[in-house]
């Protein structure tokens, strides 16, 4: 482990040094301690402290997770997520508050709603990276895509059993597991309800506590309603930053629940109030696309070329047809379009 910022050593470092001292002093202590007792003591130190921590230097360990920094999370959201003042505020407060709570009453459950390319997947990535160094590649972060992992309605019963066993097994291995479900609006409602027990206010289920886990649902459900609100504000001459969560959240939850084409239809996640936050993602405007392009250029090691930024943004399509206010694909395709200029 590292020494703390003040230059001192934490309890773990002190114990490690004590163990090292014990090893160095071992020859002097042989006469005073039975050889087998000394061997057992040293083995206990090695296996109980030194070995796990050496092991965790080379691979990811659940118990070694870093504490989330609210400032670092806010910096990531500010520098990488554009046009989403509502989502930034909700995500920052919800995630940082949950992680800092040593005894949460239930798992954190976030439901992210909006059109493709508005940043839902990106926010999931940011959350994962701020909790685990491996981000989405961490052994403790699990991504499910409805159309990929649960494609056949005829196999719902099998999917339910597999999903419940998977969640139980992973939370048993690491209480702070993160589960991300993409295309939630395409998931069978019965399968969604199979997740319900893990999200409720239970101390334990069959000996396992799920209260420190995080569930993130991504969905297009409610996107039309979100766009309607954003468009109303634009037509009335108001800034999108004037949109409040109260303008979105009630209509969004009802929209998601009442859409018969959505997996949320008849889902008890909503009527049992198991979703902690409905997070709306607004449709992106022309200026937000240019922000995405600039960041992508920088991430590829290129200097920002405003001519290319404008050319790529101008190739995108917008809606409504007459006003052309919002990008219909968000930032999702600007990256492939950028490839054309740097091929």
How would DSSP label each residue in 253-322?
HHHHHH-TTSTTTT-HHHHTT---EEEE-PPPBHHHHHHHHHHHHHHTTPPP-HHHHHHHHHTS-EESTT
Q: Does residue 118 share a domain with residue 244? A: yes
In a domain? residue 88: yes
Q: Does residue 304 share a domain with residue 259? A: no
**Distance between CA 146 and CA 164 in Å, rounded?**
15
What residues contact residue 234 under an 8 Å CB cut-off, 6+ apart?
A: 240, 323, 325
Determine whether the annotation assigns residue 59 to a binding site.
no
How would DSSP label each residue in 107-149?
-EEEEEE--TTSSHHHHHHHHHHHH-TTGGGSTTEEEEEHHHH
Q: Does residue 290 share a domain with residue 275? A: no
Q: Does residue 174 share a domain with residue 79? A: yes
Q: Does residue 292 share a domain with residue 231? A: no
In a domain? residue 139: yes
Determine whether the annotation assigns residue 114 to a binding site.
yes
Helix (H, G, I), strand (E, B) or coil at 208: strand
For the chain, the domain total comes to: 2
Phi then psi dihedrals of residue 112, to 5 deg:
-100, 125
Predicted local distance difference test score (pLDDT) of residue 340: 84
**Distance between CA 85 and CA 224 in Å, rounded?**
18
Q: Does residue 201 share a domain with residue 174? A: yes
Q: Are strands 318-319 and 326-327 parallel, antiparallel or unpaired?
A: antiparallel
**Cβ atoms of residues 167 and 206 within 8 Å:** no
Predicted local distance difference test score (pLDDT) of residue 291: 96
Q: Does residue 132 share a domain with residue 247? A: yes
Query: Among candidates 60, 76, 210, 217, which has minimal Cα distance to 137?
Result: 60
Q: Does residue 189 share a domain with residue 166? A: yes
Q: Does residue 312 share a domain with residue 168? A: no
**Distance between CA 175 and CA 60 in Å, rounded?**
15
Predicted local distance difference test score (pLDDT) of residue 254: 72
Determine whether the annotation assigns residue 121 to a binding site.
yes
Determine whether the annotation assigns residue 333 to a binding site.
no
Determine whether the annotation assigns residue 237 to a binding site.
no
**Distance between CA 32 and CA 51 in Å, rounded?**
26
- Provide the whole-model pTM: 0.82
Helix (H, G, I), strand (E, B) or coil at 224: helix
CB-count burial class (<10 Å; 0-12, 13-18, 19+) for 224 = exposed
Q: Which domain holds residue 308?
A: 286-339
Helix (H, G, I), strand (E, B) or coil at 51: helix
Q: How many angstroms separate the most distant Cα atoms in the chain?
A: 92
CATH number, position 216: 3.40.50.300
In a domain? residue 42: no
Determine whether the annotation assigns residue 109 to a binding site.
no
Determine whether the annotation assigns residue 119 to a binding site.
yes
In a domain? residue 32: no
Predicted local distance difference test score (pLDDT) of residue 29: 42
Q: Are strands 108-113 and 214-219 parallel, antiparallel or unpaired?
A: parallel
Predicted local distance difference test score (pLDDT) of residue 4: 41
**Distance between CA 123 and CA 130 in Å, rounded?**
11
Final residue before a domain boundary, out of 232, 251, 281: 281
Residue with tokens 């995405």: 292
Predicted local distance difference test score (pLDDT) of residue 261: 67
Q: Does residue 142 share a domain with residue 245? A: yes
Q: Does residue 195 share a domain with residue 131? A: yes
DSSP 69: P
Final residue before a domain boundary, out of 233, 251, 281: 281
**Cβ atoms of residues 68 and 92 within 8 Å:** no
In a domain? residue 260: yes
Predicted local distance difference test score (pLDDT) of residue 336: 85
Mean pLDDT by 10 residues, the chain (343 residues): 42 43 43 48 50 66 74 96 97 97 96 95 96 93 95 94 95 96 89 91 93 96 92 96 89 71 71 90 96 93 94 94 93 86 77
In a domain? residue 19: no
Predicted local distance difference test score (pLDDT) of residue 149: 95
Q: Does residue 193 share a domain with residue 252? A: yes
Determine whether the annotation assigns residue 8 to a binding site.
no
């Amino acid at each position: 482990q590292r020494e703390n910022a003040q230059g001192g050593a934490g309890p773990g470092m002190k114990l490690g040094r004590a163990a090292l001292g014990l090893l160095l002093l071992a020859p002097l202590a042989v006469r005073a301690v039975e050889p087998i007792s000394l061997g057992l003591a040293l083995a206990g130190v090695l296996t109980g402290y030194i070995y796990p921590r050496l092991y965790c230097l080379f691979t990811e360990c659940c118990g070694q997770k870093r504490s989330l920094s609210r400032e670092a999370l806010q910096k990531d959201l500010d520098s990488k997520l554009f046009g989403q003042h509502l989502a930034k505020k909700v995500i920052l407060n919800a995630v940082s508050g949950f992680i800092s709570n040593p005894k949460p009453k239930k798992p954190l459950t976030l439901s992210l709603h909006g059109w493709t390319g508005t940043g839902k997947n990106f926010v999931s990535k940011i959350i994962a990276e701020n909790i685990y160094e491996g981000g989405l590649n961490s052994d403790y972060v699990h991504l499910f895509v409805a159309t990929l992992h649960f494609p056949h309605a005829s196999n719902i019963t099998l999917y339910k059993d597999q999903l419940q066993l998977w969640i139980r097994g992973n939370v048993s291995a690491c209480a702070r597991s993160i589960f991300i479900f993409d295309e939630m609006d395409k998931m069978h409602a019965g399968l969604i309800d199979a997740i319900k027990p893990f999200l409720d206010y239970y101390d334990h289920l069959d000996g396992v506590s799920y209260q420190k886990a995080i569930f993130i649902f991504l969905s297009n459900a409610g996107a039309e309603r979100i766009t309607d609100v954003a468009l109303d504000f634009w037509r009335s001459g108001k800034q999108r930053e004037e949109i409040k969560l109260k303008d979105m959240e009630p209509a969004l939850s009802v929209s998601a629940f009442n859409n018969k084409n959505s997996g949320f239809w008849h889902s008890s996640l909503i009527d049992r109030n198991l979703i902690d936050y409905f997070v709306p993602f607004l449709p992106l405007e022309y200026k937000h696309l240019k922000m995405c392009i600039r960041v992508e250029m920088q991430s590829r090691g290129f200097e920002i070329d405003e001519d290319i930024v404008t050319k790529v943004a101008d190739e995108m399509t917008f809606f409504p047809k007459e006003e052309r206010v919002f990008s219909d694909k968000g930032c999702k395709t600007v990256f492939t379009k950028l490839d054309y200029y740097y091929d």
